[in-house]
Structure 1
Amino acid sequence: MSTIISAENNTHFFDDVSKNFDYAAQFTQHHPGLLNQIKACNSVYHFKFPIRKGNDFEVIDAWRVEHSHHQSPTKGGIRYSEMVNEDEVMALAALMTYKCAIVNVPFGGAKGGIKINPKNYTTQELENITRRYTVELIKKNFIGPSIDVPAPDYGSGEREMGWIADTYATMNPGQLDAMGCVTGKPIALHGIQGRREATGRGVAIATRECVSVPEDMAALGLTPGIEGKRVIVQGLGNVGYYSAKFLADFGGLIVGICEFEGAIYNEDGLDVEAVFQHRKSTGSILGFSGAKKEFKNSAEGLEQDCDILVPAALENQITAANAANIKAKIIVEGANGPTTPEAEKIFYSKGGIIIPDLFANAGGVTVSYFEWLKNLSHVAFGRINRRFEENSNLNLVNMVEGLTGIALTPLQRATIVKGASELELVNSGLEDTMIRSYHEFRQVYKNNPKIDTLRTAALVVVINKIAVSYQNLGVWP
């Protein structure tokens, strides 16, 4: 089995998402018509446009799918991949709807895709493709700070989001909130601190919160707490790298890393930053001096001994073909749809649990929400109140020292007096969001013995929230 399954051969991703939805829907009391409305993609826009490549022309396939308008604007990333197809974009858009609902972010779900391999194009060609894609969205009213707000995804990043923001602002002169048309922008273009690492940080927080519950860990035969838990991460892109980095910072032991070219393993732990730099310089994680085992077939890396497996690459990585061989007790879905419904049944039958993608990787859209709010308010978080907080804290410290006669060290004083920066506020908001959301759907899972997975519990919560939104809009009785 290949580690990365081509989306060309996988035209059932949306069906898999819909199966999970239908299974969860039976635990709600909503009308079938309302459930069908929640499940369906509202708008699917497939378009083509030509670009000049060298001395030739090439026609590019692209999509933008708006899954749900129960909240406005819709929100979702743009994927640059030659494996992109309509079914995949529809599935990812649906997951975005559910993701926003589970973490209480007031967006509907959307997703975009451009069918290219970015490595085959020059920077100028990529800019032309991105700007033309944006123009096509503008022409059809598929982008705007109150309409549909894209973000980075697989194959895209801050640079591409900057091009989108500039194109939109150019074509909408005088629009005060133009920079809110897209998130994940560079800081210099009104981005936000912490957005780049937000998804990976969210995955790490979700993992830490899951393993902190003694009751749940006892059922898995594990001790509570992240300290010393052996972790294998699949993918060393943005999500995988930051997931591994923050899990290690929290006390986890990264024993395995899997990538397209293969996998490495060391039961004593791997230095994530060293592996990242090795791959940056050589083009491969293979040959890393700190690895005790290497696997040319990266699928074997998923099956090595560990407590926690974090698939953070693409969809359909854990299937009925390999689920029985997974030795982890916990799967944390850093990627979208990495576990098929059939594989999930097998994994739960072995006594494991899966922290579902619609929650685990929602850190990105959570911080994108903060960026969008920053763009609409036109002020950075902490700018207005940081100095006031520091002065208030300083006055309090001075008063306490005067009353007690105990003088603090300069380090103690600086720690207490310091006001919160934008990054600290963003990380605090992300952490609070992930912790609250996890316990919200975990409680549903624990309180209803008929609900057999955390994914189903999360979807029950999602369905109920979206149903209330539709009813409040007056579009459903």
Structure 2
Amino acid sequence: MPAPEYSFLDDVNKSFDKAAQLTNWDKGILQQIKACNSVYRMRFPIKRDNGTIEVIEAYRVQHSQHKSPCKGGIRFSEFVNQDEVMALASLMTYKCAIVNVPFGGAKGGIKINPKNYSVYELEKITRRYTSELIKKNFIGPGIDVPAPDYGTGEKEMSWIADTYLSLRPGEIDALGCVTGKPVSQGGVRGRKEATGLGVFFGIREVCNMPEVMDKIKLPLGIEGKKVVVQGLGNVGYHTAKFFREHDAKVIALAEYEGAIYNADGLNEEDVFQHRNKTKSILNFPGATNITNTADALELECDILIPAALENVINAENAPRIKAKIVGEAANGPCTPDADEIFAKKGIVCVPDMYLNAGGVTVSYFEWLKNLSHVRYGRLEKRFTENLNAHILSQIEELSGKKVSELERNFIHHGPEEVDLVHSGLEETMITSTREIIDVWHSNPAITDMRTAAFVSAINKVATTYVELGIFP
């Protein structure tokens, strides 16, 4: 008898149901929170460069409108299906609730391998997809705001924005219809590294909590921790970068073609350049090759960061995981079965539904920037610099001492947009981590951090429904 097909949506719902039992909300409210409100499945033709016609399959799912607009990325992948998009949309609802971003959850997907299409073909697909969303009122700054995801980036978001502007002339907030745009088209500085930086901030806060670190018998702080990162895409690259820059040791990096290991640490930029030249991370100078990329997940380390695929840690390999902390930078890398095994082994799994929320948090900042029509820092930068310079000169005059040039420049510095974005992201991740840990420790029945995160999300969404008067 063949094994049952894996369902990402089933896994998300299992985690939801487990947490829902630990709340006091009415079953009707819980059913409404769990359900996907709207699913748009579409087919449309495009003409390939060789003259043939191809029918494209695509989706947009709006999981919840408890807050508007809905928010979620668009992925280009040959593995896109309705189950996956619904699962990702539901995670977006819970993610936004946990990090206190006022959006409902949504997600989109186009079932293509972008490597098999020319840039012109991808532009046609993206623009047609956008026009289909506009027809059904599935996109707009107050309705549903897409963003980049797997297989998409600034280029695709700029096509979406341009298509929307052309079909909605005169709409003053039109640039707020999508986030992840180039800075020149209303994007925000700091967006590219946001998810990886958010992962770092979240794990760093966990590592600074004595009550957590005592349980897993690790010293406080990031410094000196051995880290393994699976995936060298945008998220994995920046996660590895920030850990390395803060004195952790990235001992292994894994990609689909294999993995490399160096006990003394790896520099992600050097590995990235090596891969660009050779088309593989294998045979990196000074590193040992690991032929089977899945074996990298089972290395002896302090922190494991799966930053690539869904379902990579499950009931089969979870017993062999040796990390003390698993940080889910990807969406759904660990199954509910893996969570149960981790809880028994005393491994702390920091869940994706908030840990990789750096992208949506900074997307929120970009959306606000588009609605306000002013760059962050433009109003206060010079005022802050002048004020700091005056305060410093008074202190030097009264004390009779001069500060070093390095410190002077630091004190004088007024916040640029990227400074404010990073600061806002840091505040978001620290606050969210503390909220989840408080929920975890306040209820003895909660055995893992994912359940605590779901309980926190359910409470926030349910409270919104009640306050709206939908469920008196």
**Alignment partner, residue 26 of structure 1:** 21
Find the counterpart in structure 2 of residue 35 from structure 1.
Answer: 30
1:11 Cα deviation from its structure 2 partner: 4.7
Deviation at 1:437, TM superposition (A): 0.5
Other structure's SS at 2:204 match: helix
Matched to 1:251, the amino acid is D
Are 1:462 and 2:421 an aligned pair?
no
- Is 1:55 aligned to 2:51, yes or no? yes
Could you report, residue by residue, the CA deviation over 1:13-71 in whole angstroms, capped at 9, with x for unpaired residues? 11110110011011111110110000000000000111111220111000000000000
SS of match in other structure, 1:406:
coil
Structure 1 residue 444, shift from structure 2 partner: 1.0
Q: C-alpha deviations, 1:95-122, integer Å up to 9, x for none?
A: 0000000000000000000000000000
Say whether the 8 Å CA contact 1:11–1:88 is kept in structure 2: no
Shift of 1:214: 2.0
Distance in 2 of aligned mates of 1:146 and 1:339: 33
The question of 1:442 aligning with 2:437 is answered yes
Residues paired across the two proteins, number: 468
Secondary structure of 1:324's partner? helix
Determine if the alignment matches structure 1 residue 378 to structure 2 residue 373. yes
The amino acid across from 1:101 in the alignment is: A
Q: Match of 1:298?
A: 293
Match runs of 1:149-298 below 5 Å = 149-292=145-288, 294-298=289-293
**Aligned pairs for 1:44-83 within 5 A:** 44-53=39-48, 54-83=50-79
Q: Secondary structure at the match of 2:334?
A: coil
Secondary structure, aligned partner of 2:192: coil
> What is the TM-score with the length of structure 1 in the denominator?
0.97
Q: CA deviation at 1:386?
A: 0.6
Are positions 1:91 and 2:76 aligned together?
Answer: no
SS at match of 2:134: helix
CA distance in 2, matches of 1:265, 1:406: 50
| Per-residue deviation, residues 273-296 of structure 1 (Å, max 9, x unmatched) | 11111111111111111212x122
Distance across 1 between alignment mates of 2:402 and 2:242: 35
* Distance in 1 of aligned mates of 2:5 and 2:132: 27
Select which of 371, 393, 396 maps to 1:401. Answer: 396
User: What SS class does the counterpart of residue 124 from structure 2 fall into?
Assistant: helix
> What are the Cα deviations for residues 172-194 of structure 1, in whole angstroms up to 9, with x where unaligned?
00100000000000011110000
Shift of 1:348: 1.6
Q: Alignment partner for residue 128 of structure 1, among 117, 124, 131?
A: 124
Ranges in structure 2 where 5+ consecutive residues have no aligned partner: none
Deviations 1:285-315 (A, max 9, x none): 11111212x1222111111111111000011
The secondary structure found in structure 2 opposite 1:150 is: strand
Aligned to 1:4: none
CA RMSD of aligned residues (A): 1.0
Aligned equivalents of 2:163, 2:5: Cα separation in 1: 33
Asked if 2 retains the 8 angstrom alpha-carbon contact of 1:445 and 1:453, the reply is: yes
- SS across alignment from 2:44: strand
Aligned to 1:88, what secondary structure does the other structure show?
helix
Looking at structure 1, the residues matched to 407 and 80 of structure 2 have their Cα atoms a distance apart, in angstroms, of: 53
Distance 1:81 1:296 in 2: 25
Partner of 1:452: 447
CA shift, 1:330, in A, is 0.8
1-structure distance, mates of 2:248, 2:319: 24
Equivalent position amino acid for 1:24 in 2: A
What is aligned with 2:325?
Answer: 330
Match in the other structure for 1:414: 409
Gaps of 5+ in 1: 1-8
| 2:13 partner SS | helix
Ranges of 4+ aligned residues in structure 1 off by more than 4 Å: none
Residue of structure 2 aligned with 1:364, choices 359, 366, 382: 359
Deviation at 1:10, TM superposition (A): 5.0
State the match for 1:3 in structure 2: none
Q: Aligned pair 1:355/2:389, yes or no?
A: no
Q: Which one-letter code corresponds to 1:200 in the other structure?
A: G
> Which secondary structure does the structure 2 equivalent of 1:381 belong to?
coil
The CA distance in 2 between the partners of 1:49 and 1:288, in whole Å, is 44
Q: Distance in 2 between matches of 1:83 and 1:223?
A: 41
Work out the CA distance in 2 between the residues paired with 1:111 and 1:163. Answer: 18
2:310 to 315, 321, 337: 315
Q: What letter corresponds to residue 369 of structure 2 in structure 1?
A: K
